[in-house]
Structure 1
Amino acid sequence: MLFKIILVFLLAMVLIALIGRALFPGALPRVMQKRQKAARCRKCGRYLIGTTTCDCGDKRK
């Protein structure tokens, strides 16, 4: 009997999670969201750190 109660509780939690993800897809934690590509220099292709310009003189993409 206890096993059935636990199983029903877990299934209810899964159902609530699925409904929540369907209604609020943008509310996922940062870990689960897709990462943006790292900024690169347009001329030389090196990765840019922060908002500074590249050594080759080109600005951030």
Structure 2
Amino acid sequence: MDKLYEEIAFIAYYFHWPHSEIMHLEHRERIRFCEEISTIHRKLNQTPDNVFKR
């Protein structure tokens, strides 16, 4: 359950999407968005890999 909250918070923080919209995503879609956000973030800020990456 903690991972779910992490995924929701991560997506909501960067995309400003409402909770209900994020919850309608399939788990794999949420993970994919987290990966894509992290890729963009890494490129812009030269930060380490995403903690959600599997």
Q: Give the TM-score normalised by the residue count of structure 1.
A: 0.35
Which of these two proteins has the greater Rg computed from alpha carbons?
1
The structure richer in helix per residue is 2
* More RCO (CA 8 Å, sep 6+): 2
Q: Give the TM-score normalised by the residue count of structure 2.
A: 0.39
